[in-house]
Structure 1
Amino acid sequence: MKSLVVVLFLIVSCFAQENYSKKDIEKMIAKMVVLGFSGTNIDKNSKIYKDIEFGLGGVILFDKDPNDKTKAKNIENKTQLKRLNQQLQNISNRKLLISIDQEGGIVQRLKSDMGFVNTLKASQISQNGEVFAKQSYEAMAKDLSSVGINLDFAPVVDLAINKDNKVVVTRGRSFGETSKIVTKYASIFVDELKKEGVISTLKHFPGHGSSLADSHLGFVDISKTWDKKELEPYKYFIKNNKVDMIMTAHVFNENLDKEYPATLSYNINTKLLREELGFNGVLITDDLQMSAISKHYDLKQTLTLAINSGVNLLLFANQLAKPISLEEIVNTVYSQILSEEILLEKIIESNRKIDLLQEKLK
């Protein structure tokens, strides 16, 4: 009992020294979360309204309800979406990250039948040349900006190494086989988004283009297929200071980490990406409810490993029948801070990076 009192005293002392109350810490944890929600219109009674009021860092928008494809989850048309995003943004005086997956081709939440431009898939864009790419991504960026979306989970910078790769390559989500082609067209994408005040996200680190399986469906091992050249696009963007955010891949590579997939790996996210490649921006997870993670780790393990690995934003798309709540995430992380499984400094550092990112939106 005496030892427990001493431990609690040290923890309380640590918090006191940092001048953070329990609520301060909970709000900092909330800022590290990007959450999916259901609704094409919100009011003060909406759960997502209360989450943003509390301090939620961002939301991710989807077109169709995954449990009933005949219904809209968040997007019906341009007018409705602009109104929804204004409602979300007006909840607090803090800038909210309003995100979407808008790559073009098969990954396109903003559809032409809703009044948005149709963008070709990456593999077709690169075949049509740089001028065409610029026109395409300029139109897309204007669409995003016009309805209040300020964060796009694109472009994909995976190399089309494995022709049978079902998650990236066969769907045309990669610009090409070489880093030269990928960086050329991804740069155009990034530049056009930036002109419209939209943050881009390079994905999926450290490379998903050589995989044989789909991390949406389960465990993906790239140990025998991954090549170091898959890091080249990231090196280019980091060296040229053209990247604000990177998204992790839920892939396992025993050559980089013998125990954990990239999203949960300190060796990959801190030692490789931060220390070796020199990335100082915001690192976001791919959806933590995807089977590659959720089938192998519980929520406590997932959050602890992800944050300790060097991740700054935690993405929960809530595309499942049972959504996860912000409270559940915040309470789990807070309890891990109390037990010193997660250092408070990790939360503070992530908030610093997120604040710097949000400054670019003003």
Structure 2
Amino acid sequence: MFRLLLISLLSLLITNPSFSQTLSAEKDVSLDEKIGQMLLAGFRGTTLADTNHIVRDIKKYHLGGIILFDYDVPSKSSERNIQSPRQLKRLISDLKQLSDIPLIISIDQEGGKVARLKSSMGFPEIKSAEYLGQVDNIDSTRFYAQKMGQTLANLGINMNFAPVVDLNTNPDNPVIGGLERSFSADPQTVVQHASIYIKTLNKHGIWSVLKHFPGHGSSKKDSHLGVVDVTETWSKKELIPYRKLINRDLGDAIMTAHIFNRNIDPDYPATLSKPTITGLLRNELNYNGVVISDDLMMGAIRNEYGLKTTIKKAVNAGVDILVFANNSIYDPDIVPKAHKIIKELLDAGEINRNQIERSYNRIMELKRQDE
């Protein structure tokens, strides 16, 4: 009898994948695992042997994702994560084997001046968004998006922090226009070219991330360095790319901007703002996907708020994945610190458990696409 039951169960698992998924979903997931999935961090090292913390972070703290860089800003050194295609592919493969849950392997590969995978290291050159917007030829954009998607997929990278959908409303903007990161000042042009990038990346199994919500194009300063106030320069027109792309179900995640706009929130920058993320993005624009913070170690956040306040405000605002890039300052213990703080905030009732559950579910819904 038992043998017949076992055979029937195995047969059901093979012939009915949804049944298998249901069993998997019912498996108890610890709070530690759920918190870990909400964290994404950077590290130093071109091989696993080079780092003394990323292995610990993945295995002990269930770190949900990592971000790769070609240059280490704190030490002003090109020794970071990337040396060559062969080396990087091996590093990514080794990292993925550390986690039972699909690991987010992310990178800022926009093209032009913001390219972690440089031609000098053996990677194909990708034109900037500004160049493609000015050419305004969908075949050219698709060509470079295809080249980018193939490169990332071959390496094992599954998330690209691109495309930038900021409007180039201030060409002198030091962090957007000045770096040629925007397709155009025209929302329709931005939507057209961003759509091509998103669809092409998705065909190669790469998650795309729209950035920087609710719009960084009008700023006059660099949020890597300190507070950026766009109250007088930002306009609702900057929401058009997000609204249109969300309505078309394009974009796998959205990244927040560390910009302050008192017309939306008189107290906090977008990344820490519930009126911006829950109110504007989720309720008004009807976005239900993953929200990722920009690097929480950047000057605009680090110089103004303590780590505990930053985490508390970001989570309560509706951010699902907290990014600690470790490339403004370097703290090898940032993951255990952040993990501990979230647990303490939960115990103190300063973060609602339902928020953790919602974020975890959104993250896992995205990651199931990678299984």
* Aligned with 2:126 (options 101, 119, 130): 119
**Match in the other structure for 2:112:** 105
Shift in CA distance, 181/341, structure 1 to aligned 2, threshold 3 Å: same
* Aligned with 2:312 (options 304, 312, 319): 304
**CA displacement 1:37-87 (0-9 Å, x = unmatched):** 111111598421121113100000001222444442111000000000000
**Match in the other structure for 1:151:** 159
**Match in the other structure for 1:340:** 349
* Aligned with 2:242 (options 231, 234, 245): 234
User: Per-residue deviation at 1:321?
Assistant: 3.9
Q: Which amino acid aligns with 2:358?
A: E
Provide the C-alpha distance between the structure 2 equivalents of 1:228 and 1:148, rounded to a whole number of angstroms.
Answer: 37
Q: Over aligned residue pairs, what C-alpha RMSD do you find?
A: 1.7
**CA displacement 1:314-337 (0-9 Å, x = unmatched):** 000001244442110011111010
Preserved contact between residue 134 and residue 184 of structure 2 (Cα < 8 Å): no
TM-score (normalised: structure 2): 0.90
Q: Partner of 1:360: helix, strand, or coil? A: helix
Provide the C-alpha distance between the structure 2 equivalents of 1:20 and 1:332, rounded to a whole number of angstroms.
Answer: 26
Q: Partner of 1:200: helix, strand, or coil? A: strand
Structure 1 unaligned regions, length at least 5: 1-18
Shift in CA distance, 71/167, structure 1 to aligned 2, threshold 3 Å: closer
**Match in the other structure for 2:3:** none
**CA displacement 1:89-118 (0-9 Å, x = unmatched):** 011221000000000011100011211111
Preserved contact between residue 269 and residue 311 of structure 1 (Cα < 8 Å): yes
Provide the C-alpha distance between the structure 2 equivalents of 1:229 and 1:65, rounded to a whole number of angstroms.
Answer: 35
User: Per-residue deviation at 1:164?
Assistant: 1.9
Q: Which amino acid aligns with 2:273?
A: S
Structure 2 unaligned regions, length at least 5: 1-25
Preserved contact between residue 44 and residue 50 of structure 1 (Cα < 8 Å): no
Provide the C-alpha distance between the structure 1 equivalents of 2:357 and 2:369, rounded to a whole number of angstroms.
Answer: 19
Preserved contact between residue 43 and residue 49 of structure 1 (Cα < 8 Å): no
**Match in the other structure for 2:66:** 59
Preserved contact between residue 209 and residue 253 of structure 2 (Cα < 8 Å): yes
**Match in the other structure for 1:222:** 230
Q: Partner of 1:149: helix, strand, or coil? A: coil
Is it true that 1:281 corresponds to 2:289 in the alignment? Answer: yes
Identity percentage over the alignment?
44
Shift in CA distance, 318/70, structure 1 to aligned 2, threshold 3 Å: closer
Shift in CA distance, 45/158, structure 1 to aligned 2, threshold 3 Å: closer
**Match in the other structure for 2:86:** 79
Alignment: residue pair count: 343
Provide the C-alpha distance between the structure 1 equivalents of 2:152 and 2:198, rounded to a whole number of angstroms.
Answer: 13
| 4+ aligned runs moved over 4 Å, structure 1 | none
Provide the C-alpha distance between the structure 2 equivalents of 1:172 and 1:256, rounded to a whole number of angstroms.
Answer: 27
TM-score (normalised: structure 1): 0.92
**Match in the other structure for 2:16:** none
